[in-house]
A and B are shown apart, each in its own frame.
Chain A
Amino acid sequence: MASSDSSPILRLTFLAVLAIALFVALFARLWFLQVLAGDRFVELADSNRLRTVVSEAPRGAILSSDGEELVRNRPALTISADRQALLGSDGAPRDAEAERVIERIAELLELDTAEVIDRLGSQRRSPFRAVPIEIDVPPELVFTIREQQELFFGVETESLPVREYPQGTLASHVVGYVGEISQDELLDPEYTDYLGGDLIGRSGLEQSYEADLRGAAGRRLLVVNAREHVLDVQSDRPPVPGNDLRTTIDSELQEATERLLADGIEASRSIERDDGQLLPSTAGSAVVLDARSGAILAMASWPDYDPREFVGGVGPDYFEFLQDPESERPLVNRALTGSYPPGSVFKHASGAAMVEAGVIGPRGTRDCDAQFELGGNTFRNWNRGVNEGPMDLSDALKRSCDTYFYALAYENWVRENADDGSEEALTEVGQRFGFGRTLDVDLPSESPGRVPGRQWREEYWLESRDRYCSQAEAAEQGSLEEELLSDLCQFGGVWRGGDAVNSSIGQGDVMATPLQVAASYQAVANDGVLMRPHVGSQVVSPDGEVVREIEPEPLGELGLDEETTAAIREGLERVLMESDGTGSSAFSGFPLDEIPVAGKTGTAESPPRVPYAWFAAYAPADEPEIVVAVNVEQGGGGSQTAAPIVRNIMEHHFGIVDADDAEFEAGEEILD
């Protein structure tokens, strides 16, 4: 530089420092982005270029034992839309164009715009797939959209597998239904391999065999460019279709059972009771078991529901119907969820318990008196009136004599009290018959029922004592209510003689499901071996290979003496075979000489309601094949309403009278 003036040098130094500072800033920023935070950006770059596309695996079918498809898959035309294309992050249409598209969809599907936005924005949906707006639309709508795709930006038409029920409502409670997985379940670690929008079994076999039926969704990992054009497939896992489930349900018997149950209940409503009122017969259920394997051949619960209504989501009308109390909760499978006092169908177990406790021998007798007095209370026989004389276990079952069981239960109660009460024959033997426990059936929502005793009473009282005591204090001084409540408050934990007496005839706090009742008679019919009731028989892969056999398995043994078993079986046979048996009226005209039947009536009191009708039976009595149990809620006497239904089912099964020609003929009104 020519000038000796140092000022330009100083100024150039300033420029140099400034330049270096700017470069240092760039180096520092690059070091941060590339070295310190590089990993995060690698992930972002990958999520940029990779798209996961999920393809649904077809769910397995459920088949009856005779090969009928109870449920299978059907491709359903579906109108879906890309949420990101149409909705902004605030859940509203992202722009005017998207709004117009949504309006067009709404018009096409005859929905509110708000409803379309609602369905589209459902957060339960996975971001990996288009959100279905309407499943199972007519093909015309699909054509409309395809022809004018430019008017329906972001809208896709696809074919989704949906559940189809070729047999209609047949075995709807057993098969169950599927629904979309809920938000809570998605957060649950148990459901990690589910995505929003996935279907999951919600009841019945769909729920209990979920893992077999579901299969595995396919996943394709696509490499896409900035315009979302697919350039490459990085990985492709095709969907694995779910396995089929073959069941023990005999579709023909199932259909007959459902029809005969519904018809019988319907018909029983025209029966006039003693007081002149008609029987309400509000609901009912029936179970048919294979007497040897415990396989469930048919299981019906009435009223039933239509699983087809669940395809693509329950509509508001059907939802209202399901919620309506008048509808009697049609979704409930009463055969295994309904817990009722069993009444006299419990007497085989109760009688066995008394013999096992050593209170009486299998052929020992007690008077079948008209009533039994205990501590100022009178326990009547159902047959209000005469003393029927001394009876052994067989007689007592035939006549369903309450007082025979009262007397024994009291004697046993005294003995157990003397033995410190740790032995509880009724509870223990009841459990061997399958009462007061779950039976490990392969269907969800099984009720355990209850066989009460000292221990149960004590525990129940400890839980509810505070409530009794505070209610007693609140009750009016000197009233009957106050007396009762303060008694419960102080002594509610005591298992009294009256409790034992009530329990012995399946009343009081005894509760059982129709499945438990059926299983208990299956154990008697099967030489004392209680089998696990089951519906599934084979899991079969889509190419027909048997993946898994579901073998019948024993749950336990009754452990009774041969003589005791013989007495019980004899008594049960006489219920039908002898003219004074409580069930004989319902089986008049049935060819009992060819096909002997053993069974038991039951009429469970549940005031103020009309009694619940029960009947359980197995046949042929000498070589049992099937066990049938029927319960009709508020159906009056077991012999009157339940037994004729069982008879019709047996007539159908043994080819005597086809279900199509069957008539419901009410039996004698015996309120045992």
Chain B
Amino acid sequence: MDLGYGQDREQRMMRDRVQTRWQSAYAPVRHLDPVLVLTALALTGIGLVAIYSAKHVALSSQDLPTTLYVTRQLIAMIIGIVAMVVAAVVDYRHIRTYAPVLYAIGLVLLVLTLTPLGTEINGSQRWLVLGGFQLQPSELVKLAVLVSIAAILHESQGKPHIGFITLSLAITLVPTGLVFLQPDLGTSVVFIWLTAVLFLIGGVQVRYLVGLLAAGVGAIVAAFQAGLIEAYQLSRLTAFVNAGDASAAQTAAFQTRQSLIAVGSGQFAGKGLLEGTQTSLSYVPENHTDFVFTVIAEELGFLGASLVLGLFLILVWRGLRIAILSKDLFGTLVASGVVAVLTLQVFVNVGMTVGIMPVTGLPLPFISYGGTSLIVWFAMVGLLLNVHMRRF
């Protein structure tokens, strides 16, 4: 067949068009996950309402603007959205390269909290004050540890040998120890859990996993045996929220009891927004931060509480989906790490408010008042988006 110039051109153009279409079809920006983003925004919105409800009575009685906390949280959300965009735009394979830098910065900040530069609140030294903004480095380190271990396990191509495992353990145990000294037992547990899940997904052999589990349990038992941990230390750790303030209204038992009353008295449909008595009369301490879930459960009832848990489940589902669709192990690890941390924090925090988990200072993702936490969570959503967008 004799092909004329025009024909050839037409074919070339068609080829180009198909190619362009293919290319644009695979352009990362066309593969955003709107469900993921909208869910995160919805949770943040619910959080803003809950924070307002929790604090407006107390703030107005102190002659402060009732939207004080809401405004601060809104600013954090805007920064968080920027962080999400940044985390999504930069190809995650580059992030992998910069993992050691991220980790180093996080670690330095964490050490600084333990120096006189750190700020103590409720007996725990977790914050750095930078130009009027309170920063909680342990939240950042969470991200750094996730990325660093994922990078190492990615290097091992799913068959990590003992060297990689040891390196990963070292990476996680250093910040775990530092956080433990603050003291912040909850976040320490998050690091260990995160590492365990990454090891599981990253292909660490079952015998190593079992061995590490045995070693961990053994270490705790040995610590007790050797008298390194006394019973009172343990009880102080589990109830550390009240460290430094011994008045009755601040004990963990009081908090749990008031929290249960708030949640239970919300009943099926709730008392109505801003109508919660436990909330507005400040019976539940810290109900804009760690106990924010009680506000939702009291005022919006089982329906509202279920909606929030449902939204978290959507995040888990999108996260796992992204983990499966990821084109490389690093993406899978990052996505499943985010899912793991999210699940644990939701379970520990909500479990605490409903009396099935001890009182620890873990915030409820997206909802609890706290800028660093919110920004880091948006950054994690950015990472998920990043993996999702570059799955081809």
Complex: chain A residue closest to B270, CB-CB: A34
For residue A30, which residue of chain B has the nearest CB? B305
Q: Which of B158, B203, B267, B329 contacts A38 (CB 8 A)?
A: B267
- 5 CB contacts below 8 A, A to B, read A23-B309, A26-B351, A27-B306, A226-B283, A226-B285
Q: Is B343 engaged at the interface, CB distance under 8 Å to the other chain?
A: yes
Closest to B302 in A: A34
Which B211-238 residues sit within 8 Å CB-CB of chain A? none
Q: Which 7 pairs from chain A and chain B are nearest by CB?
A: A41-B264, A38-B267, A45-B265, A225-B281, A41-B265, A34-B302, A22-B347
Q: A19-B320, A33-B355 are in contact. List 5 more A-B contacts (CB 8 A).
A: A7-B203, A30-B297, A34-B305, A49-B283, A226-B282
A27 to B303, CA, bound (A): 11
A38–B283 CB distance below 8 A: no
Contact A30 B263 (CB under 8 A): yes
Count chain A residues whose beta carbon lies closer than 8 angstroms to a beta carbon of B. 43
**Which chain A residues lie closer than 8 Å to B281 at the CB level?**
48-49, 223-226, 231
- Whether B249 pairs with A33 at a CB distance below 8 angstroms is no
Q: Which residues of A have CB within 8 Å of B336?
A: 12, 15
Q: Give a binary string over B90-123; 1 marks a CB under 8 Å from any A CB, 0 the rest.
A: 0000000000000000000000000000000000
In the complex, the answer to whether B313 meets A23 with C-beta atoms within 8 Å is yes
Pair A40/B264 contact, Cβ less than 8 Å: yes
Interface residues of B in 248-288 (CB under 8 A from A): 249, 258, 260-268, 277-278, 281-283, 285
CB pair B283 A22 closer than 8 Å: no
- CB proximity of A73 to chain B, nearest CB, Å: 37
Residues of B with C-beta under 8 A to A224:
281
The smallest C-beta distance from B256 to any residue of chain A, in angstroms, reads 12
In the complex the two chains form, is A27's CB within 8 Å of B265's CB? no
A187 within 8 A of B: no
A33-82: which have CB < 8 Å to B? Answer: 33-35, 37-42, 44-46, 48-49
Known contacts being A5-B158, A11-B201, A34-B302, is A19 close to B316, with CB within 8 Å? yes
Please give, as numbers and ranges, the residues of chain B lying within 8 Å of A9 by CB-CB distance: 324
Residue pair A45, B263 in contact (C-beta under 8 Å): no
CB nearest neighbor in A for B330: A2
Q: Tell me if A26 and B350 are in contact (CB < 8 A).
A: yes
Q: A1-B324, A1-B326 are in contact. Are A15 and B339 (CB under 8 A)?
A: yes
Does B329 contact A48, Cβ atoms closer than 8 Å? no
Give 1 or 0 for each of B239-255: 1 = CB within 8 Å of chain A CB. 00000000001000000
**Min distance, Cβ B150 to any Cβ of chain A, angstroms:** 13
Q: In the complex, what distance in Å separates the CA atom of A19 from the CA atom of B336?
A: 11
Task: Report chain A residues within 8 Å CB of B33.
Answer: none
A23 CA / B262 CA spacing, docked (Å): 20
Chain B nearest Cβ from A625, distance in angstroms: 69
> Majority SS of interface residues in chain A?
helix
Total B residues in contact with A, Cβ cutoff 8 Å: 51
Are the C-beta atoms of B328 and A2 separated by less than 8 Å? yes
A251 to B350, CA, bound (A): 75
Chain B residues with Cβ below 8 Å from A25 are: 347, 351, 356
- The interface residues of chain B lying within 8 Å CB-to-CB of A226 are 249, 258, 281-283, 285
Known contacts A15-B320, A27-B306; A37/B158 CB under 8 A: no
Q: Which residues of B contact A223 (CB under 8 A)?
A: 281
In the complex, what distance in Å separates the CA atom of A3 from the CA atom of B261? 50
* A contact residues vs B (CB 8 Å cutoff): 1-3, 5, 7-9, 11-12, 14-16, 18-20, 22-23, 25-27, 29-31, 33-35, 37-42, 44-46, 48-49, 223-227, 231
B59 to chain A, nearest CB (A): 14
**A12 touching B305, Cβ below 8 Å:** no
Determine whether the beta carbon of B264 is less than 8 Å from that of A33.
yes
Asked if residues B277 and A45 are in contact (CB atoms below 8 Å), the reply is: yes
Q: Is B145 an interface residue when CB atoms closer than 8 A count as contact?
A: no
Q: Are B278 and A45 in contact (CB under 8 A)?
A: yes
- Chain A: minimal CB distance from B222 (Å): 28
B52 within 8 Å of A by Cβ?
no
B301 at the interface (CB under 8 A from A): yes
Would you call B264 and A38 a contact (CB within 8 A)?
A: yes
Within 8 A of A (CB), among B11-41: none
A14–B200 touching, CB < 8 Å: yes
When the two chains form their complex, are residues B265 and A29 in contact, meaning their CB atoms are under 8 A apart? no
Choose among B158, B263, B329, B356 the residue that contacts A34 (Cβ–Cβ < 8 A).
B263
Choice from A20, A37, A45, A227 contacting B262 with Cβ under 8 Å:
A45
Bound together, the chains give a CA A335 to CA B261 distance in angstroms of 61
Report A25 CB to chain B, min CB distance, Å: 7
Closest to B200 in A: A11
A38-B267, A42-B265 as given contacts; A48 in contact with B283, CB under 8 Å? yes
Interface string of B178-218 (1 = CB under 8 A from A): 00000000000000000001001101000000000000000
Q: How far is the CB of A472 from chain B (nearest CB, A)?
A: 71
Give the chain B neighbours of A49 by CB distance below 8 A. 277-278, 281, 283
Q: Is B332 an interface residue (CB 8 A)?
A: yes
CB distance from B206 to the nearest CB of A (A): 10
Which residues of B have CB within 8 Å of A27? 306, 309
The answer, among A11, A12, A34, for a CB contact under 8 Å with B268, is: A34
Across the two chains, which residue of chain B brings its CB closest to A7?
Answer: B203
Bound-complex Cα distance A45 to B284 (A): 11
Of chain A, the residue at the smallest CB distance from B266 is A34
Task: Report the separation of the CA atoms of residues A12 and B340 in the bound assembly, to the nearest whole angstrom.
Answer: 10
| A26-B351, A48-B283 known; A1 vs B263 contact (CB < 8 Å) | no
The distance in angstroms between the C-alpha atoms of A223 and B280, with both chains bound, is 12
B261 and A45 form a contact (CB under 8 A): yes
- Contact of A1 with B327 in the complex, beta carbons under 8 Å: yes
A506 nearest CB across to chain B (Å): 72
Q: Which residues of B contact A31 (CB under 8 A)?
A: 302
Taking CB atoms, residues of chain A closer than 8 Å to B262 are: 45
Q: Tell whether, in the assembled complex, residue B323 and residue A34 are in contact, meaning their CB atoms are under 8 Å apart.
A: no
